[in-house]
Amino acid sequence: MIFIILLILPLNAHAIFQKVYKGYQSSDRLQAILVEEKIYEADYKLGSEKYNWSLNAGYQNKNSFLQSLFSFQSQKSLTQTTNVGLEKSSYKFGTFSLNHQVTQYDLSEWSGGSLSTYNTDEVYEYRNSLNYTYEILNRSNEVDWDLVQAQYVTDKVSHSLKLQADFLDFFQAYSQAKLNIILDGLYKEFEKRAQRRVNQVARRVRDGLSRKLELDQARISLLNQQETILTNKNDLRQKVALIEEIIGIKIPESEYQKLVWTYKKKDKFPSVLRPRKFPELKRLEALNKITDLNLVKVDEQINSSLSLNLSYTINAFNSSRDEALTDAMGAGNRDEKVVALNYTLPLGFDKTRSLKEKLLFQRNKNELEKKNLKGDLEVNSNILLENLNRLDKAISLNGKKIKAANHSIKEHQKLYLRGQVSFEELLRAEETYINARISRVNLLSLYDLSLAQLAFIGGNIKKYLDNYTD
């Protein structure tokens, strides 16, 4: 579809990049990276929903005829128990559970005196329990929640860096292809100039105005240009094929001649000139956060634990299923209240201490890497800014050099026709002009790539490409 658009719509010199850029933004390569963000979000959701509501249910059929301390308990009993419960744990607020249980007793094997309360062999018990457990001292679960959040932040920062790196890779691939395409156009232009020079010298040789040696020199110059075209063509196809693979479309050669390289003052991109923050540092800060939390978790693992357990249970027995259910739902006065504290003191910390020592080394390593990286990024950004200033001046000087070289060729051509300069001098003037034109394209390429690298360091590469034109 994008290929059809490229063929139908007339592309002016400033629109080609944005068309290719749109192709990149919809490419499978970029979409594969964007999908990773959904994976990180799913991981975060899984972590945040680790302690969700759970439903449990069970059934038990028991035939018991064991000897017991009390004679009435030693009688054969058949029971069927069904239970259903809800439980909800959390990182910060403990565990809550609700359980409903019904047991059907078959006491037909019991002696009659043992069932003076009931006039039937079947008795039903309904039991409802409400339980709550909370950890008072140990905060391991809370640290787990902080780790889930810290990991999500780290994943997002890492994904953002990977995304920006791919934007930069795309732009570098495009710039390389563009450079070879424009050089190809220049080399063909220089070939035509060389061909005209051969024709001119050939006429002068026939007229006896020039030596045959000059014709040989003109032909060698032409052959050199043709050889340069072929050499560049190989590199050109490789670079263009790479960008075509990235965007998933074929760029017709008819569009090559529309590519130009305009000089864009760096002042037009204020957001990339002085990076206020470095995303790479943010990634290391996020990794340090995870290490710090793991250190806290290790400390919690060797700390004592004090858990509070609260429970409330109400039950009811009745030969009538409905009445037993009604009593157990609150109408009866049979209940049990439990408040319990459970204290645990871990023993043996050798393994935990080793883990903590490892984490401390890791944190120290992260801090050193952060310090070194910050210095490198600041140096690189300063160097890029200095390079841009030098390239600014070089591009300005190059423009003057091209103008002077072009004027020099015209003057050498006049003087050569008058026999006042040698053909070698004319060729040197031509080479000076050619080198100046090639140098300009290379300078503009370096200039744009330096801006892109500076934008990447500051996390603004997408903003730079959104506003970039050829």
Please provide the distance, in angstroms rounded to a whole number, between the alpha carbons at the two ends of the chain.
23
Q: What is the pTM of this model?
A: 0.81
DSSP of 232-264: HHHHHHHHHHHHHHHHTS---GGGGGG------
Phi, psi of 207 (to 5 degrees): -85, -5
- Asked whether 232 and 187 are in contact (CB, 8 A), the reply is yes
Per-residue pLDDT of the chain (470 residues; tens, 9 = 90+): 333 344 334 445 457 888 899 999 999 999 999 999 999 999 999 998 888 889 999 999 988 887 665 566 667 888 899 999 999 999 999 999 999 999 998 888 877 666 556 677 888 888 999 999 999 998 989 999 999 999 999 999 999 999 999 999 999 999 999 999 999 999 999 999 999 999 988 988 888 888 889 889 989 999 999 999 999 988 898 999 988 888 888 888 888 888 888 888 888 888 777 777 889 999 989 989 999 998 888 888 888 899 999 999 988 888 788 777 777 776 556 888 999 999 988 876 666 778 888 888 988 888 898 899 889 999 999 999 999 999 999 999 999 999 999 999 999 989 988 888 888 898 999 999 999 999 999 999 999 999 999 999 999 999 999 988 88
Residue 119: C-alpha distances to residues 97, 108, 116, 407 (Å): 35, 11, 7, 125
Closest CA relative to residue 470, chosen from 4, 2, 20: 20
Of residues 215, 149, 178, the one with CA closest to residue 20: 178
Do residues 289 and 143 touch, judged by C-beta distance below 8 A?
Answer: no
Instruction: Please choose, from the candidates 48, 6, 53, 2, the residue with its C-alpha nearest in 3D space to the C-alpha of residue 24.
Output: 2
Place of tokens 């001119």: 200
List Cα–Cα distances, 182 to 219, 227, 231, 234, in angstroms.
Answer: 24, 17, 14, 14
HSE-CB for 458 with a 13 A CA cutoff: 20
